[in-house]
Amino acid sequence: MALGTAGPLNGSRGAGPGSCFGAFNSSASLNETRPRAIASPWFSTAFGLIGLCSNLIALCVLLSSSRQLSSRARSSFLVFLCGLVVTDFMGLLVTASVIIPYHFIKFDWAEVDAGCHLCNFLGFSMVFFGQCPLLLGATMAGERFVGINRPFSRSSSVSKRRAWAIVGAVWAFCCLLGLLPVLGLGRYTLQFPGSWCFLTLLPDTGNVVFCLLFALLGVCSVLLSFVFNTVSVVTLCRVYHDRESVQRRRDSEVEMMVQLVGIMIIATICWMPLLIFIIQTVLQQLRAPERLLMLPTETQKLLLIYIRMVTWNQILDPWVYILFRRAVLRRVYPSLRARPSIVSLYPALNPALRRKLTQE
């Protein structure tokens, strides 16, 4: 998503009611942001490069791991992880390709993008690459919930192809969500300090509906991840304390849950402040006696701070997989031993079915 730092907007001509300009006071931001060192082009450049390199490293590790696995459950989980890493990488690449050149060129948005096509593209990218990781996290949590708590009901045909189909469905849904402002529901506008575009927190019907849809969908994704992961962790704790287990020992379920919990914690810390802020801001403006035509300066600054927090989600996600793998954990904690298989919770299963689940 947006790297969130840039110099002042050079102009706001053409800021009509249906335009992507005019959501903030560009002349005020000119005086406030120019002396700030954080507006340096090198800040966002370094920030973007760290994120891109992190995701590239994680992608290489994922591809190497997927070639060595025969477990169907683990393979499908790696497909979801790969989809998450690819999404984060492309999100940083696309947004940085617009924001970083702005740092060096300081182009006039109103002149370069009078038709708001670039702003709409950047706003779409922010929504698409922002919502995708949240939905993928909820999808991964749901898949592990079924795999851990209902192993006997899992379809044996869950394969890499089906996992990629689910990832593609998430991408398609987020693409449709990001296109709603282009189709007429709400609009994308240039945001403080003039380097990025996002949904508009102004109190008109289209913007309110789209803002609430975006924020509530994100909140629901985080909450679903929390519920699914909590139940799965409790189930795994039962496996840990099952002393009568006779199944072969393995801890791949634990490894996947550790990674999922890490992804969930990062998403919660990085995203919930922004999502709650959007909901509060929109609802407060609806109750206000007068409708605002421009976002207050304090609201603009808070939105920028929360967007910067969100960007860390794309940088930290790949390191969850890089660092929390069994190969790495065993080097840090050599006494780590394998744990009982999840199928030990179901001693009454048919022996043939138990062998099948154990092989997966």
The pLDDT of 42-61, averaged and rounded, is 85
- The per-residue pLDDT of the chain, averaged, comes to 78
Q: What is the pLDDT of residue 77?
A: 86
Tokens 């459950």 -> residue: 73
Tens digit of pLDDT for each residue in 82-127? 999 999 999 999 998 888 887 778 777 888 888 889 999 999 999 9
Q: What is the pLDDT of residue 301?
A: 86
Q: What is the pLDDT of residue 266?
A: 95
The pLDDT of 25-30, averaged and rounded, is 52
| Percentage of the chain exceeding pLDDT 70 | 71
β-bridge mates for residue 284, sequence order: none
If one compares 328 and 282, the residue with the highest pLDDT of the two is 282
The pLDDT of 320-331, averaged and rounded, is 74
Q: First vs last Cα of the chain: how many Å apart?
A: 36
If one compares 101 and 7, the residue with the highest pLDDT of the two is 101
The pLDDT of 301-314, averaged and rounded, is 90
The pLDDT of 54-77, averaged and rounded, is 77
- Secondary structure (H, E, C), the chain: CCCCCCCCCCCCCCCCCCCCCCCCCHHHHHHHHCCCHHHCHHHHHHHHHHHHHHHHHHHHHHHHHHHCCCCHHHHHHHHHHHHHHHHHHHHHHHHHHHHHHHHHHCCCHHHHCCCCHHHHHHHHHHHHHHHHHHHHHHHHHHHHHHHHHCHHHCCCCCCHHHHHHHHHHHHHHHHHHHHHHHHCCCCEEEECCCCEEEECCCCCHHHHHHHHHHHHHHHHHHHHHHHHHHHHHHHHHHHHCCCCCCCCECCHHHHHHHHHHHHHHHHHHHHHHHHHHHHHHHHHHHHCCCCCCCCCHHHHHHHHHHHHHHHHHHHHHHHHHHHCCHHHHHHHCCCCCCCECHHHHCCCCCHHHHHHHHHC
Those residues with Cβ within 8 angstroms of residue 159's Cβ, 6 or more apart along the chain or in another chain: 72, 75, 76
Structure tokens at 247: 């199944």
Tens digit of pLDDT for each residue in 62-72? 887 776 655 55
Q: What is the pLDDT of residue 272?
A: 96
The pLDDT of 36-52, averaged and rounded, is 71
Name the class of domain 39-332.
Answer: mainly alpha
Structure tokens at 29: 């931001």
If one compares 166 and 6, the residue with the highest pLDDT of the two is 166
Considering the entire predicted model, what is its pTM? 0.83
| Alpha-carbon gap, residue 350 to 343, rounded angstroms | 11
The answer to whether 262 and 324 have CB atoms below 8 angstroms apart is yes
Kindly provide the b/e burial profile for residues 177-212, where b requires at least 16 CB atoms within 10 angstroms of the residue's own CB: bbebbbeeebbbbbbbbbbbbbbbbbbeeebbebbe
The pLDDT of 307-334, averaged and rounded, is 80
Tens digit of pLDDT for each residue in 171-228? 999 999 999 999 989 899 998 878 889 999 988 889 999 999 999 999 999 999 999 9
The answer to whether 51 and 42 have CB atoms below 8 angstroms apart is no
The total of other beta-carbon atoms located within 10 Å of residue 22's CB is 21
